[in-house]
Amino acid sequence: MEVNELASSLFGYASIACWVIVLVPQIRLNHRRKSCDGVSLAFYLMWSLGDLFNLAGALMGGLILTAVLLPIYYIVTDCIVLWQFYIYRHGADPAANSNESSSLLAHAPLPSSSYSHNGCQEPLPKPAARRILRSRSIMLIFSLVLLAAMFVIHYVTTRPEWLEHIDKRRAAAQLCGYISAAVYLSAYVPQLIRNYKSKSTEGLSLLMFILVILANTTFCLSVLTSQKPTYEHFQMYASWLLGAAGTIVLELAVLYQFYLYRHSQQHLLGH
């Protein structure tokens, strides 16, 4: 085995190892806090959509079994996090999680604020109602985008008139790859905005973002060292390299927010 092949294999295994456990810290952190209030729902919905396109591209492109099984695993872990959003949807207010003991004193409701005199609970306060409405709106948008994505995939695979001189399956795989990259990159925008507005990264697992950076970096190195660089080689992996490299930049932006807002709360690493 040549040196570049050995290096590519090692980088590939390292990337897989990081991806397999990437969401575990966030899942554990959500479970410990019984809340997902620090995480943008749009971030995970778009991330899940990116994983679906990733899987579609891997299947259409006839990639190796590992490249197919990993997106399936990602989708399973995505579903776990989305399930946590559902079961913890009435979790604590984001501002009340930086210090458990002080929050109980500072944010404890007055006896008359949550219950009426006859013991019945009053309607949800406006902020909570707005959060629920926003979550439902995001779910609706996600469903519409998913339907549109399924239509595009169906059109590409059944209407090849505009692909007469191109390998249909390869073109469809590349299209899914580029859409996946665009969705992955867009997913970080709502999370960055959420962190900026709250001036906090509490509720996010720092370890998760570090693992994503390591996974994408080793993936890029694995592709770049897999064989002698040729135009065809880079063209084949262009969409995946674009998504990985672009994600690294946005992940570094999130890490900068961890540093910038480090004095606003005690960060939880998720272990």
* pLDDT tens digits, 47-62: 888 888 888 887 777 6
Is residue 102 domain-resident?
Answer: no
For 239, the domain range is 3-92+126-260
Is residue 74 domain-resident?
Answer: yes
If phi over 0 gives left and psi between -120 and 50 gives alpha, with beta otherwise, what is residue 119? Answer: left
Range list of β-strands (E), 50-149: none
Is residue 145 domain-resident?
Answer: yes
Question: pLDDT tens digits, residue range 1-19?
Answer: 577 778 888 888 898 899 8
Alpha-carbon torsion (196, 25, 238, 176), positive or negative:
negative
Tokens at 4, concatenated: 């570049």
The whole-number average pLDDT for the span 255-265 is 85
In angstroms and rounded to an integer, the radius of gyration of the C-alpha atoms of the chain is 22
Q: Which residues face 183 on adjacent strands?
A: none
Q: Total domain count for the chain? A: 1
Is residue 68 domain-resident?
Answer: yes
Is residue 108 domain-resident?
Answer: no
Is residue 77 domain-resident?
Answer: yes
pTM, full prediction: 0.69
Taking each helix axis from N to C end, the angle separating 65-87 and 24-33, rounded to the nearest 10 degrees, works out to 10
Residue 48 CA to residue 45 CA, distance in Å, equals 5
Q: Are the C-beta atoms of 178 and 41 separated by less than 8 Å? A: no
Is residue 48 domain-resident?
Answer: yes
Is residue 110 domain-resident?
Answer: no
Q: Are the C-beta atoms of 68 and 58 separated by less than 8 Å? A: yes
